[in-house]
Amino acid sequence: MTSGVTVLPRAERRTAALARAVEEGLLGPQAPVVGLLDVDGVLAAVDALNGAFEGPAPVLHTFAAKACGLVPVLRLLADAGMGCEVASPGELEQALAAGFGYDRLVFDSPAKTAGELEFALAHGIAVNLDNFQELARADRLLAGREASGPLGIRVNPQVGAGAIGAMSTATATSKFGVALRDPGAADAVVEAFERRPWLDRLHAHVGSQGCPPPLVAEGLRATYELAERINERVGRAQVTGIDIGGGLPVNFGDEEDRPTYADYAAGLRAAVPGLFDGRYALVTEFGRSLLAKSGTIGTVVEYTKSAGGRRIAITHAGAQVATRTVFMPGSWPLRVGVFDPAGRPKEGPAETVDIAGPCCFAGDLTAAGAELPAVEPGDVVALYDTGAYYFSTHFSYNSLPRPAVYGYRTGSDGRPRFALVRAAQSVREVVEESGLAQADSLVALRRSE
């Protein structure tokens, strides 16, 4: 932490930020939903990640851009020494705009076009090839010359699923990578390296939320053993790097960070000690775990009502910002807090209440059956642990505009200072985005002969 910044507990920093946001009009009747990102929390997570992987093995920690594709957030992480993992041309351009050098990027998309692949190969961006067809495409693009940056193959160790199937990428039928347990697949990977001296990296990612660290370790052990097999076959250290992905689960149940990066790295060291002895350069691709617990969505309660004996609070934050929580509440539950109109934590006897969003369908709930002090119109509801995905992965249902996002730091006086990350989208911008400039095109087509 820099001079002049106090090290208050995260929950106290968050509470102060909500109150200050109300005070400054960043959250209120004219701005009924806002995203708040605790910069000190993000930097602390980066420090913890770096500390956990200290050792003889060189490590490039990259941030998975999909978790928060906002240029100021990416630039903060670049300034903190991170690299960036991108999985689309949009994410690549965001990362470049944020200041990441080509040598700090990893391109992971499972559907790279020839043009995207050519750009990456020409600029020395590390590329993880997803399949043998993509490998053949790289052969044609390179036309006999060596790649200018790290180039490897993504493998699927097929070790099984975690608690959330959609987040598990090492299942028997996952769409990602070369499935190593399929007949002949591992041999084909070894042969691919034998024939191409410029292949120098393996990549595996077992999954993210819901995947326990021992499952991740099992998948990385298989990847490490394959690297050893390749190097033994070719008689030299051709595989010099292993991209171990990310996937540290986030505890959404309370304030505690668990598991920690230290826990994660210790488990890998115990399961795959050779991975850390310095013979392989490592790459990580953490995303959610770096940002989730540093983010809060604040929203104004517009109305309260009862239905069937259940209290309901209608807010302005629903499926448009909390898409996964609304559609898969069992897998993506959020903690919720309630504050008075001045942004002060409310106290009093708990009542059972559903926290509903503004979207026009019945399931638009960010919390069902929450036990909270009495919620009233004008209060503020806070959705905790929303720093990853919730700010940047907007769902445009009902043409609801994207909310503003602010970063904050808490000074030695205990008062937060804000910096705008993304301005709120106006309703006019929503209309323009929906094809306003082409408003007459279909009518003209209808009338044409």
- SS3 string, 63-130, reads EEHHHCCCHHHHHHHHHCCCEEEECCHHHHHHHHHCCCCHHHEEECCCCCCHHHHHHHHHHCCEEEEC
High-pLDDT (> 70) share of the chain, % = 96
| Residue 213: band (very low, low, confident or very high) from pLDDT cuts 50, 70, 90 | confident
Q: Which of 53-62, 166-175, 273-282, 405-414 is predicted least confidently? A: 166-175
- Model confidence pLDDT, tens digit, residues 401-430: 999 999 999 998 889 999 999 999 999 999
What 8-state DSSP symbol labels residue 344? Answer: P
pLDDT at 3: 43
Dihedral sign of CA atoms 201, 202, 208, 212 in order: negative
- Model confidence pLDDT, tens digit, residues 336-355: 999 999 999 999 999 999 99
On the question of a cis peptide bond just before residue 329, with omega within 30 degrees of 0, the verdict is no
DSSP 3-state of 178: strand
pLDDT at 440: 97
Choose the catalytic residue: 68, 211, 359, 360.
360
What 8-state DSSP symbol labels residue 404? Answer: E
The residues, any chain, with a CB within 8 Å of residue 361's CB and separated by 6 or more, are 319, 397
Cβ(128)–Cβ(87) below 8 Å: no
360 catalytically annotated: yes
Terminal C-alpha separation, the chain: 69
| Residue 359: band (very low, low, confident or very high) from pLDDT cuts 50, 70, 90 | very high
| Residue 1: band (very low, low, confident or very high) from pLDDT cuts 50, 70, 90 | very low
Q: For residue 373, how many C-alpha atoms fall within 13 Å in the half-sphere facing its CB? A: 12
Q: Which of 115-119, 178-182, 264-268, 325-329 is predicted least confidently? A: 178-182
pLDDT at 205: 83
What 8-state DSSP symbol labels residue 271? Answer: H
Other beta carbons within 10 Å of 18: 26
- SS percent in the chain: helix, strand, coil, step 5: 35, 25, 40
Cβ(31)–Cβ(424) below 8 Å: yes
Task: Tell me the pLDDT of the chain averaged across its residues.
Answer: 94
Cβ(409)–Cβ(417) below 8 Å: yes
* Pairing relationship of beta strands 295-307 and 380-384 according to DSSP bridges: antiparallel
What 8-state DSSP symbol labels residue 168? Answer: B
Mean pLDDT of 325-330: 95
Cβ(38)–Cβ(14) below 8 Å: yes
DSSP 3-state of 324: helix
| Residue 167: band (very low, low, confident or very high) from pLDDT cuts 50, 70, 90 | low
Q: Is the pTM of this model over 0.85?
A: yes
What residue type is 370 in one-letter code? A
pLDDT at 53: 97
Cα radius of gyration rounded to whole Å, the chain: 24
- d(CA 416, CA 18) in angstroms, rounded, equals 9
The tokens of 208 are what?
């993210």
**Counting runs of H as helices and runs of E as strands, what totals does the chain give?**
13, 18
Q: Which of 11-15, 213-217, 434-438 is predicted least confidently? A: 213-217
- d(CA 358, CA 364) in angstroms, rounded, equals 7
- Model confidence pLDDT, tens digit, residues 71-95: 999 999 999 999 999 999 999 999 9
Which domains are present in the chain? 10-38+292-433 (2.40.37.10), 108-286 (3.20.20.10)
- d(CA 261, CA 53) in angstroms, rounded, equals 8
| Residue 162: band (very low, low, confident or very high) from pLDDT cuts 50, 70, 90 | low
Mean pLDDT of 34-51: 98
The tokens of 219 are what?
């998948």
- d(CA 256, CA 438) in angstroms, rounded, equals 51
- d(CA 88, CA 449) in angstroms, rounded, equals 41
- d(CA 55, CA 413) in angstroms, rounded, equals 38
